[in-house]
Structure 1
Amino acid sequence: MMIRTFIAIELPVEVKRVVRQIQDQLGGSIEGIKWVKQENIHLSVKFLGNVEENGINDIADAVKNAVKESSVMNLKTGHLGAFPNEKRPRILWLGVEGDVREFISMSKNCELELAKLGYEIDDRENKPHITIGRIRSTKKQKSVINILKDIHIESILFKVDALKLMRSELNRNGAVYTNLQSVKLDK
Structure 2
Amino acid sequence: MENKPHYFFALKLPQETKISMGKNFTELKELFPFKRWVHEEDLHITLAFLGSAPENLLITAKKLVVAAIRDVPPFPVEINKLGVFGIEEMPRVFWAGIQENKELHSLRNRVYQACSEAGFQLESRPFSPHITLARSWAGAEPFMKREAMENWGKLQPVPLRFNANEVVLYQTHLDRCPKYEAIEAFPLK
Q: Give every structure 1 segment of 4 or more consecutive aligned residues whose post-TM-superposition deviation is greater than 4 Å.
A: none
Q: Distance in 1 between matches of 2:147 and 2:24?
A: 11
Q: Distance in 1 between matches of 2:5 and 2:122?
A: 20
* Aligned twin of 1:112: 113
Query: Contact 1:76–1:156 (CA<8 Å) still a contact in 2?
Result: yes
Shift of 1:159: 1.1
Q: Deviations over 1:2-45 (max 9, x none)?
A: 53111112212222123223322323333343110122112211
Determine if the alignment matches structure 1 residue 144 to structure 2 residue 134: no
Shift of 1:156: 2.6
Aligned counterpart in structure 2 of residue 182 of structure 1, from 178, 182, 185: 185
Q: TM-score, normalised by structure 2?
A: 0.83
Determine if the alignment matches structure 1 residue 50 to structure 2 residue 52: yes
Aligned counterpart in structure 1 of residue 171 of structure 2, from 167, 174, 183: 167
Q: Secondary structure at the match of 1:51?
A: coil
Q: Deviations over 1:138-185 (max 9, x none)?
A: x744232132122213233211112001111121x5552222111122
* Aligned twin of 1:92: 94
Q: Distance in 2 between matches of 1:51 and 1:57?
A: 10
Q: Deviations over 1:74-99 (max 9, x none)?
A: 1122111111353341111111226x
Query: Contact 2:57–2:118 (CA<8 Å) still a contact in 1?
Result: no
Q: Secondary structure at the match of 1:28?
A: helix
Q: Distance in 2 between matches of 1:176 and 1:60?
A: 21
Aligned counterpart in structure 2 of residue 71 of structure 1, from 63, 69, 73: 73
* Aligned twin of 2:128: 127
Q: Give the % identical residues.
A: 22
Q: Distance in 2 between matches of 1:21 and 1:86?
A: 25
Q: TM-score, normalised by structure 1?
A: 0.84
Task: Note the residue ranges of structure 2 that are not aligned, 5 or more in a row.
Answer: none
Determine if the alignment matches structure 1 residue 62 to structure 2 residue 64: yes
Aligned counterpart in structure 1 of residue 7 of structure 2, from 2, 5, 8: 5
Structure with greater strand share of residues: 1
Task: Note the residue ranges of structure 1 that are not aligned, 5 or more in a row.
Answer: none
Amino acid at match of 1:180: I
Change (3 A) 1:90 1:141: farther
CA RMSD of aligned residues (A): 2.2
